[in-house]
Amino acid sequence: MGTGITAVTSNPSDWEALAALTERLDALRGELDVAEAHNQIAAIYALEEAIAETEAKREQLFSRLQDRLADETAA
């Protein structure tokens, strides 16, 4: 079982990408808060779209990491 976890954690690029996407989501949500406070409608729509796209990318990557972990721990 330890071997599977080592194999997953030995590929830091996916974990770094997940962390970067999470940081990006936090930044976008902060920008959205500011846009909402200033009633910037166009910015709100653009930020909501960017958040949705980033969330989808993050979810795909997270799912891939979960699948890899499940596959490697089952082996």
pTM above 0.75, yes or no: yes
Contact at 8 Å (CB) between 47 and 27?
no
State pLDDT tens for residues 42-74.
999 999 999 999 999 999 999 999 988 887 787
Report how far residue 74's alpha carbon sits from residue 12's, in angstroms, rounded to the nearest whole number. 21
What is the number of domains present in the chain?
1
State pLDDT tens for residues 18-29.
999 999 999 999
In the chain, % of residues over pLDDT 70: 85
Report how far residue 70's alpha carbon sits from residue 75's, in angstroms, rounded to the nearest whole number. 9
Contact at 8 Å (CB) between 64 and 14?
yes
User: Which residue range is the domain that position 35 belongs to?
Assistant: 2-74
Report how far residue 43's alpha carbon sits from residue 48's, in angstroms, rounded to the nearest whole number. 8
Cite the beta strand spans of 8-71 per DSSP E.
Answer: none
